[in-house]
Structure 1
Amino acid sequence: MKRNTAHLTHDLNVVAILQARMSSSRLPGKVLKPILGAPMLAHHIKRLARCQNIEQLVVATSTREEDQAIVKLCQQLNVACYTGSLNNVLDRYHQAANHYQADIVVRLTGDCPLADPQIIDDVIATHITQGNDYTSNVEPATFPDGFDVEVFNIEQLTTAWQQAKKQSDLEHVTPYIRNTLANKKGNYVSPVDYSHYRLTVDEPNDFVLVEKIYQALGRQGQYFTNEQIYQLLTNKPELAILNQDTMRNEGYLTSIVQEQHNDANDK
């Protein structure tokens, strides 16, 4: 994809918060599973380090003992790390954003180790140049699941932290912002729709695919682009079907169904 925005010059403190935890229900410990001899999260952080429009990258994990392994990895990589609530991820984001004095927050998740710095930079640039309250590349999604980027202002994050009550809003951070608070929203669109590809890691088959992509394109530690990933999956369609039976945003949808079930029982 041709880059359509350059590095921005501005006075805003853009803080990317990468949420990560060890207690995944479907694939425990996934963020530290090794790929080519290094933890998946280390590969992810290395890719994010190429972003030009981020002033500060912060890994946000929980205060639980098992997540100390993530804290130690961040120390080894000299990457900022903030610990907070396990289940109230909205609070974790709010505390981390304030600690690092963010003006704009970029939400990234630790299950997306193929995150593309070019796409992230472009979503940030779109947000700033359009003066949006919330900007993403998922409404509608035209990029693969695993390239998701959400950008919002500290004011919206603070208000959501003050007002949001539903567990799904607390766990998934942005629903209250994008559905209730954001008056001006933007969406960064891929020129070609690649949303049928699944490049996030929730299930064992997801990890198998991501590992094969790294083995094919990054065996010597070299950086590879989103275009190279698309070309690989086009040339080897047997890879893309490894994990096509998993629904996009399954975790969030499960939270909504559980809330509806609880509401019905309360009536």
Structure 2
Amino acid sequence: MQDKIVIVIQARMSSSRLPGKVMLPVWGKSLLMRMVERVQRTQYPVTIVVATSTDASDDVVENEAYAHGIPCYRGSLNNLLERHYLAARQYGAHVVLKIPSDCPLIDPAVIDATLDLFYEQPGHYDYVSNLHPATWPDGNDVEVMTMTCLERAYYEATHSWELEHTTPYIWEHPEHFRTGNLEWSTGLDLSMTHRFTIDYPEDYDFIVQVYKKLHPLKPAFSCNDILQLLEDRPKIYEINAGYAGVNWYRNHLSDLKTISADQTKVLP
């Protein structure tokens, strides 16, 4: 039996730093649909599900998903582990991918490469990501796990930060799970110097400029295309460079055993 692969994109309107970011316009479509558009380019047969909350503010997210023919699951506002697990269960997943909605520039080739590693030795891994340690520019986050793995995390995780961030229980407990990590084949590590994700107004300005320059000529532009653009036009790189390396780890260094201080930085 072929695995049913479900990609869960968690999206909500109540972002604390940039409220409503998933519905911001990017070259004629919402940021959320621009991201879905890129994820759909994976070479693997997948079901993409937008997982949002039952909060009334997220009605617009559900409507946006359905308007574009994308399945939507609605669950807990703050327990993202529960939301992720129940969405995957509802859509019959055997293998689950977590890709956060703040990665609208994600390169589908990174999704393919992570799945390639997961399936390289069938049944060998419970969880594979490209984040531990990360090497791609921030915003190319892919986590692949078996449904059994996600289910165990759902039933066993207890800390608030494990529930909020979905997968820490898995990669923080290597004694329970067989994990693997995909490093960028270039040998580069731009995870702390290049920021393709969105959490601040400067990130949005950066993404708009990337789309403005690349999308008209090459809608399926790659990570390498973005890097070339930034080399050619360093002023675009500078738009959100001050936030490069800023991530949620900074608030939980005392909790996370597998994350060190050099994998995050404080706000500028």
TM-score, normalised relative to structure 1: 0.88
Residue 229 of structure 1 pairs with residue 226 of structure 2: yes
| Higher deviation after alignment, 183-192 or 155-164 | 183-192
- Matched to 2:149, the amino acid is Q
Instruction: After superposition, give the CA deviation of every residue in 1:154-188 in whole Å (9 maximum; x if it has no partner).
Output: 11111111111100000000000111155322111
Could you say which residue in structure 1 is the equivalent of 2:125? 132
Could you say which residue in structure 1 is the equivalent of 2:215? 218
2:79 is matched with which residue: 82, 85, 88?
88
Name the SS for the 1:138 alignment partner.
coil
Q: Note if contact 1:137-1:149 (Cα within 8 Å) is conserved in structure 2.
A: yes
Q: Note if contact 2:194-2:244 (Cα within 8 Å) is conserved in structure 1.
A: no
Separation of aligned partners in 1, 2:165 and 2:62: 21
TM-score, normalised relative to structure 2: 0.88
Instruction: After superposition, give the CA deviation of every residue in 1:49-96 in whole Å (9 maximum; x if it has no partner).
Output: 111224211010001111010100111100011000010000001101
- Matched to 1:189, the amino acid is E
Separation of aligned partners in 1, 2:209 and 2:216: 10
Q: Report deviation, 1:242.
A: 1.7
Q: 1:220 to 1:234 in 2, by over 3 A?
A: closer
- Matched to 2:229, the amino acid is L
Q: 1:157 to 1:258 in 2, by over 3 A?
A: closer
Instruction: After superposition, give the CA deviation of every residue in 1:90-146 in whole Å (9 maximum; x if it has no partner).
Output: 000110111111111100011110011111011012112132111111111110100
2:248 is matched with which residue: 244, 247, 251?
251
> Which residues of structure 1 form unaligned runs of 5+?
1-9, 260-267
Q: Note if contact 1:14-1:54 (Cα within 8 Å) is conserved in structure 2.
A: yes
- Matched to 2:202, the amino acid is N
1:194 is matched with which residue: 148, 172, 190?
190
2:134 is matched with which residue: 130, 141, 159?
141
- Matched to 1:154, the amino acid is M
Q: How many residues align?
A: 250
Q: 1:247 to 1:218 in 2, by over 3 A?
A: closer
- Matched to 2:74, the amino acid is T
Q: 1:153 to 1:25 in 2, by over 3 A?
A: same
Could you say which residue in structure 1 is the equivalent of 2:21? 30
> Which residues of structure 2 form unaligned runs of 5+?
257-268
Separation of aligned partners in 1, 2:104 and 2:42: 14
Q: Note if contact 2:162-2:169 (Cα within 8 Å) is conserved in structure 1.
A: yes
Could you say which residue in structure 1 is the equivalent of 2:177? 183
Percent identical among aligned pairs is: 37
Residue 159 of structure 1 pairs with residue 156 of structure 2: no
Separation of aligned partners in 2, 1:95 and 1:53: 22
Instruction: After superposition, give the CA deviation of every residue in 1:20-59 in whole Å (9 maximum; x if it has no partner).
Output: 0000000000000001221111111111111122421101
Task: Detail structure 1 runs of 4+ shifted over 6 Å in the superposition.
Answer: none
Separation of aligned partners in 1, 2:218 and 2:77: 32
Instruction: After superposition, give the CA deviation of every residue in 1:183-202 in whole Å (9 maximum; x if it has no partner).
Output: 32211111133322100000
Q: Report deviation, 1:223.
A: 1.9
